[in-house]
Amino acid sequence: MKIFAYAGSDTTFLDAGSIFLREQSGKLTEFAMLSASAGKSGSVVELEGLSSRTEAEAYRNAEVLVRKDALPRKDTDEYFWYELLGIEVFLESGEHLGRISDIIVTGSNDVYVVKRGQEEVLIPGTHEIIRAIDLETGKMTIHPVEGLLDLHEV
């Protein structure tokens, strides 16, 4: 089965021991990992209990999940997406900017989509911009470099 994942390495799945597939209906099924390798556009995984393309097809567009306790340790300045989604974003001045609603993967760094009323602000996930993240309080503090928040100016 081919999956698109944000894991840093295919071994993340093997180390987890199993993955969960959440179907569009919401049904969650756990599968033991047999193998994982890098493919052209994602990871190719072999799951116990899925032995044919027809069986795997039933999980097309399913969400791939792993247990939190199965995730590898991270560096002090690295965060999992589930930790950042929903966090409140503030400027260094204390002004509330909004809440992270999505994360966009780019070639060099992630970009945080911050909902600001009906508008969205795109914040690069770089050390130059991100000054502090406090998961306990659910707060991110950013340094707004010139032009970052100029949404509607020509």
**CA–CA separation, 108 vs 69, rounded Å?**
27
User: Rounded to an integer, what distance in angstroms lies between the CA atom of residue 19 and that of residue 29?
Assistant: 8
Give pLDDT tens digits for 89-110. 999 999 999 999 999 988 788 9
Q: How far apart are CA 95 and CA 112, in angstroms?
A: 17
What does the pLDDT read at residue 38? 76
SS3 138: coil
Question: What residue ranges of the chain have pLDDT lower than 50?
Answer: 152-154
Q: Is the pTM of this model over 0.75?
A: no
